[in-house]
């Protein structure tokens, strides 16, 4: 893998040298426990990202509240757009959907930046409880909101839930067989597809955005049930005997201790060791940042401006279809790890940047004749993004030692969030500039 292949951290090499004389056979996971953990991590990925995806799908509707009349108690379900700037060729809201993106991602970025400093001091179970409560609160707050400001507060709760959950569950994968990373990634892709599709389908069927959001309150409950009732206890890092390992594998996760009580946990690394591990991760972090910067610049900076008037779909409906097709691509590629692996993440970053350049050119020059061409490009965009995510974490899991894997997973998950945050910051002024064009 070029630079990554040659820069596998020295700590891993030295550890291998020290342990070659006493090889240990890996613990075999009972078949029933294997499937419980596989399904559990898939559901955790689904539920963890669901509120985040729904808020992005509802971004156009949330911002339309600012243009709705004062006697409306929730988002106007009418499909007819209300132009903000009639002199512009774009049907613009006064505020870019990137504002919802920033509210949906900045709290996550803060959580991921602080996670390596002290989040590990909290046991896993309280973190999962907070994540579930914030997810439920986000649906309720946005559903009953009367203003954009209150709605954005609800979006912030969704961001806290998603960010805290991602750091927690990716770190937790270090204590299970590597296959759970594929199930987790597929679940997060499923959240994108099911979240966007459910919001699109229910609103298309005539349900108001308010009732659509309230109908999704079962998702946080499913998250908590998956963690506390479905997952088995993590396998011990130091085998203490076959009977003890088998007993632990059959016990539910609730009340169990994981990395906090293990002397070999990643969080006991010195600052110098953490820095060495982090430097080794840069060959994955940088391309993943670029991939997510490009795709979310498209999603929240350009989707709203890719408006076709020669179709029966309203502006709001076009935006929802864009989000759903993007998430369909993400789901397909995040579920593809069992079929093929990609080691050259830089190639995916380059292709995603080319997507951004092409669609930005179309926004400026309007040369694409049909919305269906844009549909295909957006589906392809989602395929690239999902493939970059799942293969990045799969490669990290393969190339890190057991001692470093938990920290590496938590540190690398900042990549997508950083790229998304940068795209939101730049998409806001771009929206204002383009909406002033005649």
For residue 56, the domain's CATH number is 1.20.1250.20
Q: In this structure, are 276 and 192 located in the same domain?
A: no
406-427: average pLDDT: 87
Q: 280: domain range?
A: 267-437
pLDDT for position 416: 87
Domain contains 215: yes
* Residue 13 pLDDT level (bands cut at 50, 70, 90): very low
Structure tokens at 357: 């350049």
Residue 264, class by beta-carbon neighbours within 10 Å (0-12 exposed, 13-18 middle, 19+ buried)? Answer: exposed
pLDDT at res. 221: 96
Note whether 312 and 421 are same-domain residues. Answer: yes
pLDDT score of 60: 74
Domain match, 300 and 219 both: no
Q: 371-386: b or e for each residue (b if 16 or more CB lie within 10 Å)?
A: beebbebbbbbbbbbb
What's the alpha-carbon Rg for the chain, to the nearest Å? 22
Amino acid 327: pLDDT: 87
User: Is 155 a member of any domain?
Assistant: yes
| Amino acid 234: pLDDT | 74
Last residue of a domain, one of 184, 213, 234: 234
Q: Is residue 219 part of a domain?
A: yes
Main-chain phi, psi angles of 232, to 5 degrees: -90, 165
| Residue 11: inside a domain | no
- Kindly state whether residue 245 falls inside one of the protein's structural domains: no
On whether both 200 and 348 belong to a single domain, the answer is: no
pLDDT at 184 over 90: yes
Q: 241: burial class by Cβ within 10 Å (0-12, 13-18, 19+)?
A: exposed
When divided into structural domains, the chain yields a total of 2
> Same domain for 273 and 182?
no
Chain-centre distance for alpha carbon 359? 23
296/398 same-domain check? yes
Mean pLDDT of 128-144: 95
Residue 148 lies in a domain: yes
Considering 189, 217, 234, which residue would you say is the last residue of a domain? 234
**Cβ contacts of 291 within 8 Å, gap of 6 or more:** 345, 348, 349, 352, 384, 385, 388, 389, 416, 419
* pLDDT band, residue 235 (cuts 50/70/90): low
Identify the DSSP state of 259. Answer: G
Q: Is 79 a domain residue?
A: no
pTM score, whole prediction: 0.71
Q: Is 87 within a domain?
A: no
In this structure, the answer to whether residues 273 and 228 fall within a common structural domain is: no
Residues 308 and 192 in one domain: no
CB 407 within 8 A of CB 274: yes
Structure tokens at 316: 């709001």
Token pair 């988002």 is found at 75
In Å, what is the CA distance from 6 to each residue of 31, 260, 287, 304? 37, 32, 17, 43
Q: What is the 8-class DSSP label of residue 144? A: T
CATH number at residue 432: 1.20.1250
Residues in the chain: 438
pLDDT at 32 over 60: yes
């Amino acid at each position: 893998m070029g630079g990554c292949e040659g820069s596998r951290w020295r700590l891993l090499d030295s550890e291998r040298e020290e342990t070659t004389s006493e090889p240990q056979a890996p613990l075999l996971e009972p078949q029933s426990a294997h499937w419980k953990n596989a399904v559990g991590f898939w559901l955790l990925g689904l539920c963890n990202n669901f509120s985040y995806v729904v808020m992005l799908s509802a971004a156009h509707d949330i911002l339309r509240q600012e243009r709705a009349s004062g006697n409306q108690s929730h988002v106007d379900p009418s499909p007819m757009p209300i132009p903000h700037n009639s002199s512009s060729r774009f049907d613009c809201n006064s505020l870019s959907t990137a504002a919802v993106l920033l509210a949906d991602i900045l709290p996550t970025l803060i959580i991921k930046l602080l996670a390596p400093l002290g989040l590990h001091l909290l046991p896993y179970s309280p973190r999962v409880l907070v994540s579930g409560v914030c997810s439920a609160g986000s649906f309720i707050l946005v559903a009953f909101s009367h203003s954009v400001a209150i709605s954005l507060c609800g979006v912030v709760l969704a961001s806290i839930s998603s960010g805290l959950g991602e750091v927690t569950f990716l770190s937790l994968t270090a204590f299970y067989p590597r296959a759970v990373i594929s199930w987790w990634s597929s679940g997060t892709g499923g959240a994108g597809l099911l979240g966007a599709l459910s919001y699109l389908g229910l609103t298309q069927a005539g349900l108001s955005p308010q009732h659509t959001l309230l109908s999704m309150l079962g998702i946080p409950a499913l998250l908590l049930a998956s963690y506390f009732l479905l997952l088995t206890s993590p396998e011990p890092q130091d085998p203490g005997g076959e009977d003890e390992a088998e007993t632990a594998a059959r016990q539910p996760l609730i009340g169990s201790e994981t990395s906090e009580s293990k002397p070999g946990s990643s969080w006991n690394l010195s600052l110098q060791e953490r820095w060495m591990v982090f430097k080794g991760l840069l060959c994955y972090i940088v391309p993943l940042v670029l991939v997510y910067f490009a795709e979310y610049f498209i999603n929240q900076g350009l989707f709203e401006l890719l408006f076709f008037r020669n179709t029966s779909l309203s502006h709001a409906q076009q935006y929802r279809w864009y989000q759903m097709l993007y998430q369909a691509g993400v789901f397909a590629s995040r579920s593809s790890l069992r079929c093929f692996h990609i080691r050259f993440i830089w190639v995916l970053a380059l292709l995603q940047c080319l997507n951004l350049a092409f669609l930005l050119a179309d926004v400026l020059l309007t040369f694409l004749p049909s919305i269906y061409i844009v549909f295909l490009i957006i589906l392809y965009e989602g395929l690239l993004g999902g493939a970059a995510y799942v293969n990045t974490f799969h490669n990290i899991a393969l190339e890190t030692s057991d001692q470093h894997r938990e920290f590496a997973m938590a540190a690398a998950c900042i990549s997508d969030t950083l790229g998304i945050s940068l795209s939101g910051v730049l998409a806001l002024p771009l929206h204002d500039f383009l909406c002033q064009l005649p």
